[in-house]
């Protein structure tokens, strides 16, 4: 449990704060010497096993040895001697510095009023806190409160409400002579404590000052009426007279940053306060003898002077009235200036101020949304939720403000602009709602992961269900927003004040979709994976895609992840070399391994030797079962590219051997040597542990990079459970080789796939820069001829000759016409048939600094046929698992009597499309006669 330290725990505010912290599941260590506090105030807190009390002054607590301290609050009465106050504060700050705890100093809003008599203690305390926070880097903030009232209250404040409550508790209200023209901003204790906790637990409040008081003052005369007969006024539905707001300097910031507002109802608060003192007459203040002298010169003496103060206030008020009467001047010039000034003020507040406030709120929506996304990406979900709520509040303000102008929609020329802005505001509001749902879903998903890892107790199933609901709502909202933003006519009419908001939303739509999609996928998959009613193990393998294989790369290391009863049981990791070397059975390898690489035995290292990843995954599971004796329920493969992307999200890694691994040096550190195998195992182990155990994940980057790796086939998943595997296949996360599609009338479906095997020990497949061009020509008779050109250019990383076995998969029903490598015809080329496609296999060699071209010319056996003078021509290119991105150009040439009409592609004679083969690509052109 988190631990809070409250100095002044037995005081009025301190005791209520202690009780609220205990309610929130926080252990509380309270400190009080009962100089101004009362032991009776801690009666309820004392019933909790999580409350611990030090009955002493803080400086004497020399043996205070807390194992941890998350929160610390200083609520010491400001009216003790300056020397005593300073000693307590210094000891308190020393403790906070030691534990780096979140710290709050409770102060007073009266510090804003230079006319108020404020004990020097508070001024010095704030200065001291700011100095220590700056030099010692402690997470500290100040909360300045107005007068506070409620059960257990003291009566040391000079606020008129406090005086009235005291008189009512003494049944002396009729005798009360407090000037009733005054107003009060006194705060009920529940609202004050709520503010202290929000400031304490909020993550981004360090080095700030927050104010707590009523937003609108209340007349003292009305408070007196309520105290005389609260029941009658409650039945009549009392409403305080609306008075102009009088915000303190930091009140608006407090409302927005902490989402705090006073919620206590005035009548209920007064009734609760009076009921307490009726039940505890011994705590009701006695009649004060005016001649009584304070026992100590620094003690608060306002109780002794309050009667005289009231009389002085009345006298001063009378003097003020006389002054006002003397200042009355009947000069017409003064009257005219006054009327003009009032007119200017009315125009400003009626027209200009709302427009300025509207523009400011529009800017703040964007700011809060941006902050929320940033905090979510850092795993600071409470801060992200808070920023989301503030964005929602600003969006609501925009809509409410604009609604006041609804009369203009009845004016013809203003109707359309009004509707446009109204729709834009709805989009902004939908986005703020979607953002809150996204953040809430991510927070619950992170909570479920913490339960699975054992970091926290709880029910992951409930958290998954709640996260699913939140993310579904987010998906629905963001889908509507995305659809509307695609309407160019609508977005062009948006006024400048809102344009930035919509541009910002457009720029974040993709991030929202990625976070939502990956989150929903995890929610669907994880409950099936974590074995809620048994035990399951999964294999995570690290492939070296520099040593390219048809199924990704040679396997360097593995990690075995085991779940039991819905919780992570253990994570093991080791080099694959250790498993392979201990297995003695002989297994005949594939032809390429035997003939090209001279392997006489097939082992786990080269198990990913099929271009269809599910087939390679089943081989990996089989080999691992044979070599380790462990049966697994699925396999996840990572190559060095995906490891680099994951490190971007979870932060740099430090291996057991002390090596620092970051996203930019992972290729270099995991060398193509035996030491590289050991490093691979260490990197994989730390990475898997970081994903499961890191409390604050960079969720936005993790979602983005994981999805990119899955789509680009650098990260792939295979599960033995048929339902789970079907789900993965539907999302194209399994890297399967697509089978030949049967064509319909008016269609031509071409396919192309490449599969390479690095056959050079110690050379790097990624050291070869590749590019691809496909040119397809349809002649007058509908016959389609193709020319595939592959350019190979070694980079400086290639240190010796490079040899590769290349397999090319083409559509079924094609015939090879000619194949050249470096301008020379390849004679040693073999054909095969697989996945319903025609394939060709060839051996390619490339010297250091040598650039070569592979050119294949082939033709479709069957001519194309148009249906209703239209045909869809499609080329699907399948990216090899583990391969890097390849610049790819596709050109389709056709007769002059045919035109291309497809999306942005409109042309006659030919069309060209350029892209990067970073993932499976489909080039599609609609041809019309």
Average pLDDT of the chain is: 83
Would the pLDDT of 707 be above 80?
yes
Give the count of alpha carbons within 13 A of 661, CB side only.
31
Q: What is the phi/psi pair of residue 329, to 5°?
A: -125, 135
pLDDT at 697 over 50: yes
412 within 8 A of 423, measured Cβ to Cβ: no
pLDDT reading at 700 higher than 90: no
Which of the listed ranges 37-41, 337-341, 397-401 does the model predict with the highest average pLDDT?
A: 37-41
Confidence of residue 519 (pLDDT cuts 50, 70, 90): confident
Q: Determine the Cα–Cα distance for residues 774 and 875; give it in Å rounded to an integer.
A: 10
pLDDT score at 408: 57
Whole-number pLDDT of residue 907: 61
The contacts found for 355-362 with CB under 8 angstroms, 24 or more apart, are: 357/397, 357/401, 358/398, 358/401, 358/402, 358/497, 359/497, 361/394, 361/397, 361/398, 361/401, 362/394, 362/398, 362/428, 362/497, 362/498, 362/500, 362/501
Query: Which pLDDT score, from 0 to 100, does residue 493 have?
Result: 64
Asked which of 295-299, 378-382, 484-488, 677-681 is least confident by mean pLDDT, the reply is 295-299
**pLDDT value of position 361:** 54
Distance separating the N- and C-terminal Cα atoms of the chain? 74
- Tell me the C-alpha to C-alpha distance, in Å, between residue 752 and each of 244, 734, 774, 809: 74, 18, 10, 6
Least confident of 254-258, 331-335, 830-834: 331-335
The reported pLDDT for the residue numbered 572 is 94
pLDDT digits 0-9 by tens, 740-798? 878 889 999 999 999 999 998 888 999 999 999 999 999 999 999 999 999 999 988 88
Q: How far apart are CA 94 and CA 102, in angstroms?
A: 13
Convert the pLDDT of each residue in 608-658 to its tens digit.
999 999 999 999 999 999 999 999 999 999 999 999 999 988 889 998 888
Contact 106, 117 (CB under 8 A): no
> Which tens digit of pLDDT belongs to each residue from 711-750?
999 999 999 999 889 888 888 889 999 888 788 899 999 9
- Among 435, 409, 404, 410, which Cα is nearest to 420's? 409
283 or 585, greater pLDDT? 585
Q: What is the model's pLDDT at position 338?
A: 41
CA distance 634 to 919: 23
Higher pLDDT, 827 or 821: 821
Q: How confident is the model at residue 82 (pLDDT cuts 50, 70, 90)?
A: confident
Residue 315 confidence class, pLDDT cut points 50, 70, 90: very low
* pLDDT tier for residue 282 given thresholds of 50, 70 and 90: confident
Could you tell me the CA-to-CA distances from 345 to 333, 340, 358, 402, 847 in Å, in that order?
19, 9, 18, 21, 83
The separation between CA 602 and the C-alpha centre of its own chain, rounded to angstroms, equals: 45
Q: Is residue 855 predicted with pLDDT exceeding 80?
A: yes
Q: Do 561 and 688 contact (CB within 8 A), yes or no?
A: yes
pTM: 0.60
Q: What is the predicted pLDDT for the residue at 489?
A: 63
Which range is least confidently modeled, 483-492, 613-622, 803-812, 835-844? 483-492
| Residue-level pLDDT at 311 | 40
pLDDT in tens, 52-62: 998 888 877 66
Percent of the chain scored above 70 by pLDDT? Answer: 84
CA angle 464/732/884 to nearest 5° reads 115
The pLDDT, as a whole number, for residue 494 is 64
Residue 660 scores a pLDDT above 80: yes
Kindly state the percentage of the chain with pLDDT values over 90. 39
Tokens 């004796």 correspond to 629
CA distance 714 to 458: 34
Query: pLDDT tens digits, residue range 84-107?
Result: 888 889 999 988 998 889 999 999
If you average pLDDT over residues 542-561, what whole number do you get?
Answer: 95
Write phi, then psi, for 176 (nearest 5 degrees). Answer: -65, 130
Report whether pLDDT(177) > 70.
Answer: no
- Residues 585, 601: contact at Cβ < 8 Å? no
- Asked whether the beta carbons of 161 and 220 are under 8 A apart, the reply is yes
Residue 331 in this model has a pLDDT that exceeds 70: no
- For the segment 878-897, the average pLDDT, to the nearest whole number, is 94
- What is the per-residue pLDDT for 414? 64
Both tokens assigned to 774:
């496909």
DSSP H or E run through 650: helix 640-650
Q: How confident is the model at residue 342 (pLDDT cuts 50, 70, 90)?
A: very low
The Cα-based distances of 163 to 150, 175, 239, 611 in angstroms read 13, 12, 22, 84
């Amino acid at each position: 449990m988190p631990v809070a330290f409250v100095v002044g725990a037995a005081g009025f505010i301190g005791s209520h704060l202690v009780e609220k912290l205990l309610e929130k599941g926080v252990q509380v260590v309270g400190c009080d010497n009962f100089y101004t506090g009362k032991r009776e105030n801690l009666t309820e807190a004392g019933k909790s096993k999580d409350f611990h009390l030090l009955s002493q002054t803080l400086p004497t607590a020399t043996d205070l040895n807390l194992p941890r301290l998350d929160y610390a609050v200083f609520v010491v009465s400001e009216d003790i001697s300056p020397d005593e106050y300073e000693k307590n504060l210094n000891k308190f700050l020393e403790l906070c510095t030691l534990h780096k705890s979140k710290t709050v100093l409770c102060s007073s809003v009266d510090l804003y009023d230079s006319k108020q008599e404020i004990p020097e203690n508070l001024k010095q305390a704030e200065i001291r806190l700011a100095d220590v926070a700056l030099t010692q880097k402690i997470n500290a903030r100040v909360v300045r409160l107005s007068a506070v009232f409620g059960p257990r209250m003291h009566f040391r404040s000079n606020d008129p409400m406090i005086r009235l409550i005291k008189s009512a508790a003494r049944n002396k209200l009729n005798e009360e002579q407090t000037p009733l023209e005054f107003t009060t901003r006194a705060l009920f204790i529940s609202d004050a404590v709520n503010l202290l906790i929000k400031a304490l637990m909020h993550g981004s409040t360090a080095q700030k000052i927050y104010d707590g008081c009523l937003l609108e003052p209340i007349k003292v005369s009305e408070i007196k009426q309520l105290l005389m007969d609260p029941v009658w006024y409650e039945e009549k539905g009392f409403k305080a007279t609306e008075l102009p707001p009088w915000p303190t300097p930091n009140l608006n910031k407090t409302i927005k940053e902490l989402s705090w507002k006073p919620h206590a109802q005035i009548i209920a608060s007064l009734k609760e306060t009076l009921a307490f003192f009726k039940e505890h007459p011994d705590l009701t203040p006695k009649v004060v003898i005016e001649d009584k002298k304070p026992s100590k010169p620094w003690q608060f003496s306002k109780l002794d002077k309050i009667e005289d103060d009231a009389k002085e206030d009345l006298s001063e008020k009378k003097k003020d009235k006389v002054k006002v009467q003397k200042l009355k001047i009947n000069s017409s010039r003064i009257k005219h200036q006054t009327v003009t000034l009032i007119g200017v003020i009315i125009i400003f507040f009626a027209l200009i101020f709302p427009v300025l406030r509207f523009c400011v709120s529009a800017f703040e929506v964007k700011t809060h949304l941006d902050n929320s996304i940033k905090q979510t990406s850092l795993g600071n979900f409470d801060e992200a939720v808070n920023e989301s709520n503030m964005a929602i509040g600003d969006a609501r303000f925009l809509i409410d403000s604009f609604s006041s102008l609804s009369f203009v929609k009845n004016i013809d020329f203003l109707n359309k602009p009004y509707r446009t802005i109204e729709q834009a505001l709805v989009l902004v509001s939908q986005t703020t709602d979607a953002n809150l749902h996204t953040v809430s879903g991510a927070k619950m998903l992170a909570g479920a992961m913490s339960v699975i890892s054992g970091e926290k107790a709880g029910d992951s199933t409930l958290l998954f269900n709640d996260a699913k609901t939140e993310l579904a709502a987010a998906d629905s909202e963001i889908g509507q927003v995305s659809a509307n933003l695609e309407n160019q006519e609508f977005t062009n009419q948006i006024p400048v004040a809102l344009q930035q908001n919509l541009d910002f939303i457009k720029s974040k739509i993709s991030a929202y979709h990625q976070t939502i999609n990956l989150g929903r996928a995890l929610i669907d998959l994880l409950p099936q994976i974590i074995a809620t009613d048994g035990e399951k193990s999964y294999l995570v393998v690290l492939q070296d895609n520099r040593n390219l294989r048809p199924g990704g790369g040679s396997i360097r290391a593995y990690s075995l992840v085991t779940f039991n009863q819905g919780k992570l049981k253990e994570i093991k990791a080791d080099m694959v070399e250790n498993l392979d070397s201990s297995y003695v059975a002989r297994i005949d390898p594939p032809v390429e391994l035997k003939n090209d690489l001279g392997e006489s035995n097939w082992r786990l290292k080269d198990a990913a030797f099929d271009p269809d990843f599910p087939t390679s995954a089943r081989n990996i599971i089989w080999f691992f079962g044979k070599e380790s004796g462990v049966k697994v329920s699925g396999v996840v493969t990572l190559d060095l590219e995906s490891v680099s992307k994951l490190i971007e999200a979870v932060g740099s890694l430090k291996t057991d051997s002390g090596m620092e691994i970051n996203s930019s040096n992972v290729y270099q550190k995991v060398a193509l040597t035996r030491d590289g195998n050991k490093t691979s195992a260490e990197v994989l182990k730390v990475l898997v542990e970081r994903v499961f155990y890191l409390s604050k994940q960079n969720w936005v980057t993790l979602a983005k990079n994981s999805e990119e790796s899955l789509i680009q086939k650098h990260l792939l998943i295979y599960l033995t459970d048929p339902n789970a595997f079907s789900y993965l296949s539907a999302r194209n996360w399994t890297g399967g080789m697509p089978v030949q599609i049967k064509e319909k009338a008016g269609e031509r479906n071409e396919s192309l796939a490449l599969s390479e095997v690095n056959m050079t020990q110690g050379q790097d497949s990624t050291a070869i820069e590749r590019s691809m061009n496909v040119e397809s020509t349809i002649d007058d008779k509908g016959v389609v001829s193709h020319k595939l050109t592959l350019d190979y250019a070694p980079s400086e990383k290639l240190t010796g000759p490079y040899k590769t076995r290349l397999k090319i998969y083409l559509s079924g029903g094609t015939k090879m016409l000619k194949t050249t490598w470096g301008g020379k015809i390849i004679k040693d080329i073999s054909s095969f048939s697989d996945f319903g496609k025609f394939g060709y296999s060839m051996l390619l060699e490339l010297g250091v600094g040598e650039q070569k071209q592979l050119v294949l010319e082939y033709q479709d056996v069957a001519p194309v046929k148009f249906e209703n003078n239209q045909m869809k021509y499609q080329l699907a290119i399948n990216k090899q698992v583990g391969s890097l991105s390849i610049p790819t150009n596709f050109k389709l040439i056709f007769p002059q009597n045919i035109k291309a009409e497809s999306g942005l592609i409109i042309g006659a004679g030919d069309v060209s499309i350029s892209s990067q083969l970073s993932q499976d690509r489909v080039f599609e052109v609609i041809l019309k006669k």
